Structure 1
């Protein structure tokens, strides 16, 4: 009796291991595609960055307006290179009107609602001091591009999120008095300051640094920022024998001071801060007297092809081209933040702060090349030795040079 052969098949029924393996592979591939799409979508999301400062409310708004142009140019250049961490930058601008309450409101909105990764600005020191605690509490990196109060970047070595690429009041005082101390023609110095918070903070720095040099001013005179006649104060300085004045004032009152000097035919040497580069000074002083003071800036004459290129782009938009330094500083703050974010591989505040404090590659900026500019205890990107000595000549801010300046050494900048 012959047995029938049973037919066999190599096809596994549904639910067997090979079928489950193919299904798992298919689902895995689909998940990978979805994950890749999600990563690409996230990578395309812009990184929000912001400026919070005065661009309309006070005479200082001039530097804010120019700073915004510098930041905007940096954002444009970085986006052309592919953005930061593969993501484009989106630039938000908030005008604080020169008012601390508005500045605080802007800061809170930018951090909590807009979810920005960094804030640049402000213009006015008082506004920075009003909200710096918010930035530190919320771990928001801030790169100051204009405000100069010494206290802005002061804070705990752990948890200080404010950095600066700008003039610093104490550094300006250190530079001015280093020059006066070295100048053999400066035998009797007088201090002239506003009665504003700006002026009084400057006077404090001047007096402390003068003491480090063993210097004592023969006259200390104060005036209201709205005064237009300073002949009374100048007469006292003249009677005291002052041949050199160090002045701490905003642009317009500085202009009234030199006009008052003309009334008395008393022209001591005048050394002052970057306020002399603001439009208000030449407008009040006039074309002749505006050339008398020597003052500090972070860049007076453009000295690189990169600076020339940036000026060609934004120069036509500047009402006062001599304040191009404000754009240069602001441009550099963006480059430094971007370098820190790339180094950290992240835009979170703590990671960026740590990277800023330990940048491992030099950053070529408009003002200078920044080689490890910050540390855990030092948040100033520029110091007195980086400043440019300047004066007005034929309607432009130009470099000032003389043998005294050429002979200054790092040890001369006491602070």
Structure 2
């Protein structure tokens, strides 16, 4: 054989071998869903909520026969809200555990960091909490980042609408954490205000673990803000409320759901009346699915009082996300990342949080998000519990 012929034979053999390896890699993808979330640290409640919702869905699916004849399982990793750990966990879930999908966690900084490894590997990601707009609207095609959760672009519009109902003169201040989540929300809030013909009277930022928010609060007060919108976690939200109390400043306070975990415990009575956007509450009239979920939460986790259930949105979003993934696997007919990614656009189902008809729409770059603004609801802190705003003591 000539040297050219030998080279062609070697190239053909290498190509065939590569194809076989690729096929084997796809065949090795397993019926597991990996979750990278904060199960330690100040937002540990969020990881536990996601784990509960996902596990309940997996148990129900397995009791009904599993997916494609196989039982699903949940693989849980802790990212503690740290982006590098979220990236490492993504790679571990995909390449070591060979799971069919990644469930996202609480922190938007982690979700944004996961965009690169998710697309480098080609594994579907399903966010169930982190709401940063750019995490999902990332310009990738095909886009492997999906979400059953809120989206900051839409949350901003929701909160601005609520704030303007409260404000007599439209004087609104915005307090936001100096992270990818907070900084990413600022343009969304400004755009939502502009759409209503308004501008913020103050925009104040702060860092995680800041202990004194007095300067920011004083500037908002001096600007005449009647409403303060907050984009923060509970611990910093607590400091904002304490700074307001210290100077006798009493604006209406409304926030994204970073202050929906344990603000009532941290701030005590100061949290009363603070309004928070949510996607779900177990204190509203429940569907049959909701009633079943409550029964399972009581039997499996000892949560007998619906008002004591923390992070209802995280539980419910994770529950629906797992069912949507299971449906996509069935439609794909295989545990295959690329096929499942495409099949997600074909899923139609009635979920716990909302009807998904369809869950996602490939023709609309905004619609790799399954939950729409009309699925959001307003809650309020009252005596240490987060309750629906409608019908609350503050609904006047």
Fold equivalence (TM over 0.5): yes
Give the TM interval when normalised to the shorter protein: 0.7 to 0.9
Please, which of 298, 302, 314 is the counterpart of residue 326 of structure 1? 314
Q: Which residue of 2 aligns with 1:308?
A: 291
**In the aligned structure 1, how far is the partner of 2:67 from the partner of 2:153?**
34
Give the CA deviation at 1:46.
6.6
- TM-score scaled by length of structure 1: 0.79
Q: Deviations over 1:113-148 (max 9, x none)?
A: 222111112332222222322222322111111211
Deviations 1:60-96 (A, max 9, x none): 2321111011111111000000111122112211222
- Note if 1:126 corresponds to 2:109: yes
Residue 210 of structure 2: which of 221, 227, 231 is its match?
227
Unaligned runs of 5+ in 2: 1-28
Q: How is 1:14-413 mapped onto 2 (pairs within 5 angstroms)?
A: 47-56=31-40, 58-156=41-139, 158-183=141-166, 185-279=168-262, 281-286=263-268, 288-300=269-281, 301-302=283-284, 303-315=286-298, 316=301, 321-359=309-347, 362-376=348-362, 377=365, 378-401=367-390
> Which stretches of structure 1, 4 residues or longer, exceed 4 Å deviation after superposition?
317-320
- Give the Cα separation in 2 of the matches to 1:118 and 1:194: 30
Comparing 236-245 with 267-276, which one deviates more in the overlay? 236-245
Between stretches 71-80 and 183-192, larger displacement belongs to 183-192
Superposed CA RMSD in Å reads 2.4
Q: Contact 1:244/1:269 (CA < 8 Å) preserved in 2?
A: yes
Cα displacement string for residues 150-186 of structure 1 (whole angstroms, at most 9, x for unaligned residues): 1111234632111001122222111011223455625
Which stretches in structure 1 are left out of the alignment for 5+ residues? 1-44, 407-415
Cα pair distance change 1:298/1:129, threshold 3 Å: same
Q: d(CA) in 2 for partners of 1:184 and 1:103? A: 39
In 2, the alpha carbon distance for the partners of 1:186 and 1:340 equals 48
Secondary structure of 1:211's partner?
helix
User: SS of the residue aligned with 1:357?
Assistant: helix
Residue aligned with 1:226, SS: coil
- TM-score (norm: length of structure 2): 0.83
User: May I ask how many residue pairs the two structures share in their alignment?
Assistant: 355
Residue pair 1:390, 1:399 contacting (<8 A) in 2 also: yes
Query: By how many angstroms is 1:205 displaced?
Result: 1.7
Give the drift of 1:223.
2.9
Are the aligned partners of 2:209 and 2:236 in contact in 1 as well (CA < 8 Å)? yes
Q: Assess if the C-alpha contact under 8 Å between 2:379 and 2:389 holds in 1.
A: yes
1:195-230 C-alpha deviation (Å, 9 max, x unpaired): 333322222221222222221122222333323332
CA distance in structure 2 between the aligned counterparts of 1:185 and 1:117, rounded to whole angstroms = 51
Contact 1:340/1:352 (<8 A) preserved: yes
SS at match of 2:175: strand
When Rg is computed on C-alpha atoms for both structures, the one with the higher figure is: 1
- Cα distance change of structure 1 residues 52 and 229 upon mapping to structure 2, 3 Å threshold: closer
Judged with a 3 Å threshold, the aligned counterparts in structure 2 of structure 1 residues 116 and 255 are, in CA distance, closer, same or farther, namely same
